[in-house]
Amino acid sequence: MKIDGHTRLAAVIAKPIKHSISPFIHNLAYDLTEINAVYVAWEIDREDLQQSIENIRRYDMLGANISMPYKQEVLQYLDGIDQSAQLIDSVNTIVNQNGSLIGYNTDGYGFFRSLPDFDVKDKTITVLGAGGAASAIIGQAAIEGAAKIHAFDRSLILEQTKVKIDQLASRVGQDIFLHSVEDEEALKTSIAQSALVVNATGVGMDGKSLPIPSQFVFPEHILVADLTYNPAETPFLRLAREQGLQTTNGFGMLFHQAKKAFELMTGKTMPSEEVWASLLEEIKK
């Protein structure tokens, strides 16, 4: 695509962000859909966040993605937020709607779209971890009508997490049952009731660690997901696969949150198959 006087800009804003795969996804999608735009990564310090957000309007950008550590802080600089961002209290996508900056959160949406043949409506789910990604999944599960949601965090920080989880529960209008991950009985009971268990702790990125006991036996027919995609199979997923269960890593979530963000910013549908195939190649490099 030729850059000219009409080229629009989009960016991912975070720190650190130079390693991000988002520019690859969005620029490829612009090319394939013939959108005259360029997507770049802005690694900025906290004191430059407000100005950076104002620049989206100032330079008539398509919008921006927001990543760690600015997903909450950015809320105060926006003109409006949609239901997902409001419930989750976190924004990962800003759309410039004719000079109005509207915040969305496509992380939880992307996660549920990435699951094979799974509808969370009326299902019980267990989420390991209670950080940003876990909150996005919990919020989206509530939006999509989950029956019951269990969350597990380390007992060390459980009191602190409880305040945050109670606030999330009151926003989504649903009980969220918070337990300590060291409580093996609660872990067993919650997972036994669940149709889906998600590792949103990041534990296993080293290829060695597990967020649950290594002898843990999953119930039959549960779907086991991990948000990590590098390594492609964490020890958590390996344990589940060895028990004959269906597993899914975080690669699909990465793709689907970007797809939704692209569609919100451009109003066009992302050519999924082509982008997915190229992304698989790119990630192997």
71, 123, 259, 260: which is the annotated catalytic residue?
71
Cα–Cα distance, 257 to 32 (Å, whole number): 18
Q: Are 142 and 149 in contact (CB under 8 A)?
A: yes
Smallest gap, in angstroms, from Cβ of residue 7 to ligand NAP?
28
Q: How far is CA 251 from the centre of its chain?
A: 10
Residue 153 marked ligand-binding: no
Residue 107 marked ligand-binding: yes
Which one, 20 or 246, has the nearer CB to ligand NAP? Answer: 20
Tokens of 231: 């390594």
Smallest gap, in angstroms, from Cβ of residue 114 to ligand NAP?
8
Smallest gap, in angstroms, from Cβ of residue 110 to ligand NAP?
7
Query: 39 pairs with which residues across the strands?
Result: 10
Residue 155 marked ligand-binding: no
Q: Is the peptide bond before 219 cis (omega within 30 degrees of 0)?
A: no
Tokens of 276: 């997915």
Q: Which residues bind ligand NAP (CB under 6 A)?
A: 68, 107, 128-134, 152-154, 157, 181, 200-203, 205, 211, 227-229, 250, 253-254, 257
Which one, 29 or 96, has the nearer CB to ligand NAP? Answer: 29
Which one, 80 or 213, has the nearer CB to ligand NAP? Answer: 213
Tokens of 28: 């490829």
Query: 197 pairs with which residues across the strands?
Result: 126, 224
Q: Are 240 and 223 in contact (CB under 8 A)?
A: no
Cα–Cα distance, 176 to 125 (Å, whole number): 10
Q: Are 125 and 150 in contact (CB under 8 A)?
A: yes
Dihedral over Cα of 100, 101, 107, 108: its sign = negative
Residue 131 marked ligand-binding: yes
Active-site annotation holds for 285: no
Cα–Cα distance, 88 to 250 (Å, whole number): 19
Strand bridging mode 93-97 / 124-128:
unpaired
Which one, 8 or 259, has the nearer CB to ligand NAP? Answer: 259
Smallest gap, in angstroms, from Cβ of residue 92 to ligand NAP?
9
Which one, 86 or 199, has the nearer CB to ligand NAP? Answer: 199
Residue 267 marked ligand-binding: no
Chain residue at closest Cβ approach to ligand NAP? 131
Smallest gap, in angstroms, from Cβ of residue 181 to ligand NAP?
4
Binding residues for shikimate: 20-22, 67, 92, 107, 229, 257
Annotated binding site for NADP(+): 129-133, 227, 250
Enumerate the active-site residues.
Answer: 71
